[in-house]
Structure 1
Amino acid sequence: MTKQEVTFFWFRRDLRLEDNVGLYHALQSKFPVIPLFIFDDAILDSLPKNDARVGFIHESLAKINQQLQEIGSSLLVKKGKTQQVWQELLQEFEVKEVYFNKDYEPYALERDLAISELLESNKTKPHSYKDQVIFEEKEITKADGLPYTVYTPYKNKWLEKYKSMAPIPEFEAVNIFSNFFKFHFDFPTLEQIGFEESTIKVQPHNLSKIANYHETRDFPAIDSTSYLSPHLRFGTVSIRKLVNWAVRKNEVFLSELIWREFFMQILFSFPKVVTHNFKSAYDGIQWRNNEEEFKRWCTGTTGYPMVDAGMRQLNETGYMHNRVRMVVASFLCKHLLIQWQWGEAYFAQKLLDYELSANVGNWQWAAGTGCDAAPYFRVFNPEIQLTKFDEKGIYIRKWIPEFNLGYGKPIVEHAMARDRAIATYKAGIVK
């Protein structure tokens, strides 16, 4: 029996039909396009069964599947080891081409290379496209071709290049939807994938909240959060639409999007930063790594209200306000002298918008060990941060209901901890 000749489009971090570069090109193939998503065991096996991010992916895929059913197609969802899934698909179909959008994290690069080699060995042509960033890999470099390791010159070069081609074109696929493979694939339940509903949910994003971002972004009590970050992380929104919008509406928010790409190219160019200090001179710091103190930081019981409110918000919702993220990260690394890798790993478990490059980049920034990081002698005072950014205590009372009953004694005294941190860093840094 002759196998069906098809093209595949492989969804990964681009969970949308509109303005999807790889999908746009796939739909111009000579062969009908099967849209595919693979729940990768290599990623899922390390996650709790109620991981909210898996639930959000499943929910986003269900929306895509519903859109496809309206035009007589559907989404093929598989679960397993990626290489094995592709071997089975190559047996089942006459796969002529596979389209996907690039991913730049170390595991993804290794996976995509292996799958591309598998496809080519089966006379199947892989096609990959830039989609989750405006500028990738080595598109923004210094004059000598080396990567930037300081943000401001990177941002200036980024803006210069963007303005020379703005607005970035968006890729609409509506007019060629007819090329989807016409077949009804069974869509699995979350339970069939081996997961269950979480009480934590990804909030809908709201672009209108960004209009005053520059004025409100430092005040956690003001509900001015767009909730865009998980949607950007999993690609339910297009970075091109978002940047083209931010350029017109808010330059400060645009700078945050450029930070995202800066950290992505740092990770691509210096993959050691996943586990090691960007600045190797900091490798000699003698961290205290007290497990009991780390547990109190995780549970939001340090006795510092802004730190504790932030950690409780994270544990209960999967979100944490950006200003508070800086405070809690600095507190862990400087006040408690606990390695940034401990905090980075905890955030990786809890954050709905967890993205490896940004998480590692921001933690190393807070610890002083990263590129363009805060200097080691900069130690946030959590009490001053509270006075400046939550003067009326609205944020802390929301997350610490017992605050008015007389809050617990701080885990460490600020002045002592600051002096200890500076002395420890100074003694550990290799000149």
Structure 2
Amino acid sequence: MELPVNIFWFRRDLRLNDNHGLYRALQSGLPVLPVFIFDTAILNGLDPGDLRVNFIHRTISTLHRQLKALGSGLSVIHDVPVMAFEKLLARFQVKAVYTNHDYEPYARERDAKISLLLAGKGIDFRTFKDQVLFEGREAVKNDGAPYSVFTPYSRKWLELKNQTGVPAYPSESFGDKFLRYEAPGIPDLESMGFRGGPMVYPLKEISPDTLAQYASTRDIPGLDNTSRLGLHLRFGTISVRDCIKAGELYSATWLNELIWREFFMQILYHYPHVVKGAFKKEYDRIQWRNNEEEFKRWCEGTTGYPLVDAGMRQLNETGFMHNRARMVTAGFLTKHLLIDWRWGEAYFAARLLDFELSSNNGNWQWAAGSGCDAAPYFRIFNPEAQALKFDSNGTYIRRWIPEFDTPSYPRPVVEHSFARTRCMTAYSSALKP
């Protein structure tokens, strides 16, 4: 008979250090079997060249090597989670499964199924808060209602942080608690229907120099002076608590961006209708033009507005877009072209390495004016003025548009003042009481 074990299920927490659920599992008194599931319910909806799958595969390969050095290894299964656990339970005598909370709608549905499966076999399912400092109803108004405006939420968040501090979970200190066994090999990308590539991903490093300059340079896309840690926060290859501590030390502005991330997560938690519709439901009445040819030009970066086009080309080539360009491209699609924000949200979701449902949805709704704490609908960025202000030397534009200032660069798809008037008319007629 196999000796009893506990499982730790890696998901959006692909690291051995400061991992809350892993820390609890390693202190449970039983050997810990580390598991990762390539969830076919998610993978089947992705393009074979999806760079995020490549990143995950590289990351879990590194985890596997780290665990092998500890005499263990990562058990990797390519299946739907329920079937993956059926396989694990047939092989191991499992007492409990440990993992970290995930807040997205699919994840909550998946975890409910796993919890039910395990409960039927007398196995505990224990989940922990790891990817945020505050979750659910921890940072709410005094009357218990959730915040829907960022500034008071951020004040409450900072107040709670200062009261409770930022905890640490030194899971890296208990490497001798993993189950010692010969783990099977990791399935290669090709066997799962994906292809690898030579992609260079952002480094998993918190740079004090970058953070010290962040407030003054973060809006200048030509400098590219942002942390580039969004990908690592998305997949938990870096600890959010380490990031928060770095923000405390080096940059209140960067810390504020981490609070925005948690704000949008709690919006998704408390207001799940935002996944399919506007936070402010009256915005669902807007009559979008949804011109497919213009959407194609936006996707390709051929709108004739250089800052918009540079941002889209950067996204298409690298899976990343500078934050200022994200604001301008999103505002252009929704307000200049009057194309439904959900079209743009889906395009970003398919291509951003750092895609996170809550932030992507929250920021697109902010740009469209339909979200909580959104830019008012009459705030319409002028892409040319934005380029002059934030890329005055054309450094960013020329980096991504080699034909800029040549006859081959396309003429603007729409004239700004005409588009502004059209947008104001469409929005105001939809939002009449």
Is residue 426 from structure 1 mapped to residue 428 from structure 2 by the alignment? yes
Identity %: 55
Question: What CA distance in whole angstroms lies between the structure 2 residues aligned with 1:404 and 1:278?
Answer: 41
Corresponding residue number in structure 2 for 1:256: 257
Question: What CA distance in whole angstroms lies between the structure 2 residues aligned with 1:391 and 1:426?
Answer: 33
Q: List aligned pairs for 1:80-99, cutoff 5 A.
A: 80-99=79-98
Corresponding residue number in structure 1 for 2:19: 20
Question: What CA distance in whole angstroms lies between the structure 2 residues aligned with 1:71 and 1:294?
Answer: 51
Q: CA deviation digits over 1:77-112, x for unaligned, max 9?
A: 001111111112112211111000000011101111
Structure 1-normalised TM-score?
A: 0.98
* Structure 1 contact 200–318 (Cα < 8 Å) conserved: no
Describe the shift of the 1:299–1:144 C-alpha distance in structure 2 as closer, same or farther (beyond 3 A): same
Task: Give 1:124 shift.
Answer: 0.7
Question: What CA distance in whole angstroms lies between the structure 2 residues aligned with 1:26 and 1:33?
Answer: 7
* Structure 1 contact 281–430 (Cα < 8 Å) conserved: no
Question: What CA distance in whole angstroms lies between the structure 2 residues aligned with 1:223 and 1:327?
Answer: 16
Corresponding residue number in structure 1 for 2:181: 183
Is residue 215 from structure 1 mapped to residue 216 from structure 2 by the alignment? yes
Q: Structure 2: which amino acid aligns with 1:416?
A: F
Question: What CA distance in whole angstroms lies between the structure 2 residues aligned with 1:257 and 1:127?
Answer: 26
Residue 211 of structure 1 aligns to a residue whose secondary structure is helix
Residue 119 of structure 1 aligns to a residue whose secondary structure is helix
Describe the shift of the 1:341–1:200 C-alpha distance in structure 2 as closer, same or farther (beyond 3 A): farther
Residue 403 of structure 1 aligns to a residue whose secondary structure is coil
Corresponding residue number in structure 2 for 1:370: 371
Corresponding residue number in structure 2 for 1:417: 419
Task: Give 1:62 shift.
Answer: 1.0
Q: List aligned pairs for 1:1-150, cutoff 5 A.
A: 2-150=1-149
Corresponding residue number in structure 2 for 1:330: 331
Corresponding residue number in structure 2 for 1:288: 289
Question: What CA distance in whole angstroms lies between the structure 2 residues aligned with 1:201 and 1:111?
Answer: 32
Q: CA deviation digits over 1:24-67, x for unaligned, max 9?
A: 01011222111000000110001011111001111111111111
Question: What CA distance in whole angstroms lies between the structure 1 residues aligned with 2:169 and 2:87?
Answer: 31
Q: Structure 2: which amino acid aligns with 1:170?
A: A
Question: What CA distance in whole angstroms lies between the structure 1 residues aligned with 2:216 and 2:353?
Answer: 25
Residue 125 of structure 2 aligns to a residue whose secondary structure is strand
Q: Structure 2: which amino acid aligns with 1:308?
A: D
Q: Structure 2: which amino acid aligns with 1:178?
A: D
Corresponding residue number in structure 1 for 2:358: 357
The worse-fitting range, judged by mean Cα deviation, of 285-294 and 27-36 is 27-36
* Structure 1 contact 51–198 (Cα < 8 Å) conserved: no
Question: What CA distance in whole angstroms lies between the structure 2 residues aligned with 1:206 and 1:76?
Answer: 27
Q: Structure 1: which amino acid aligns with 2:254?
A: F
**Gaps (5+ residues) in structure 2?**
none
Describe the shift of the 1:200–1:344 C-alpha distance in structure 2 as closer, same or farther (beyond 3 A): farther
User: Superposition RMSD on alpha carbons, in Å?
Assistant: 1.0
Q: Structure 1: which amino acid aligns with 2:72?
A: S
Describe the shift of the 1:223–1:284 C-alpha distance in structure 2 as closer, same or farther (beyond 3 A): closer
* Structure 2 contact 224–322 (Cα < 8 Å) conserved: no
* Structure 1 contact 205–226 (Cα < 8 Å) conserved: no
Tell me the number of residue pairs that the alignment of Structure 1 and Structure 2 aligns. Answer: 429
Residue 132 of structure 2 aligns to a residue whose secondary structure is coil
Q: List aligned pairs for 1:307-322, cutoff 5 A.
A: 307-322=308-323
Question: What CA distance in whole angstroms lies between the structure 1 residues aligned with 2:45 and 2:376?
Answer: 34
Question: What CA distance in whole angstroms lies between the structure 1 residues aligned with 2:78 and 2:325?
Answer: 37
Matching residue within 146, 167, 170 for 1:169: 167
Q: CA deviation digits over 1:153-173, x for unaligned, max 9?
A: 00000000001122x121112
Task: Give 1:199 shift.
Answer: 5.0
* Structure 2 contact 206–246 (Cα < 8 Å) conserved: no
Q: CA deviation digits over 1:385-431, x for unaligned, max 9?
A: 00000001010000000013133210000000000001110001142
Structure 2-normalised TM-score?
A: 0.97
Question: What CA distance in whole angstroms lies between the structure 1 residues aligned with 2:334 and 2:198?
Answer: 30
Question: What CA distance in whole angstroms lies between the structure 1 residues aligned with 2:404 and 2:128?
Answer: 51
* Structure 2 contact 307–383 (Cα < 8 Å) conserved: yes
Task: Give 1:3 shift.
Answer: 3.2
Question: What CA distance in whole angstroms lies between the structure 2 residues aligned with 1:97 and 1:51?
Answer: 33
Corresponding residue number in structure 2 for 1:297: 298
Task: Give 1:312 shift.
Answer: 0.2
Question: What CA distance in whole angstroms lies between the structure 2 residues aligned with 1:217 and 1:21?
Answer: 31
* Structure 1 contact 340–367 (Cα < 8 Å) conserved: yes
Q: CA deviation digits over 1:89-139, x for unaligned, max 9?
A: 112211111000000011101111110111111111111100000001110
Q: Structure 2: which amino acid aligns with 1:101?
A: N
Question: What CA distance in whole angstroms lies between the structure 1 residues aligned with 2:339 and 2:160?
Answer: 40
Residue 69 of structure 1 aligns to a residue whose secondary structure is helix
Residue 78 of structure 1 aligns to a residue whose secondary structure is strand
* Structure 2 contact 204–238 (Cα < 8 Å) conserved: no
Question: What CA distance in whole angstroms lies between the structure 2 residues aligned with 1:337 and 1:45?
Answer: 31
Is residue 242 from structure 1 mapped to residue 240 from structure 2 by the alignment? no
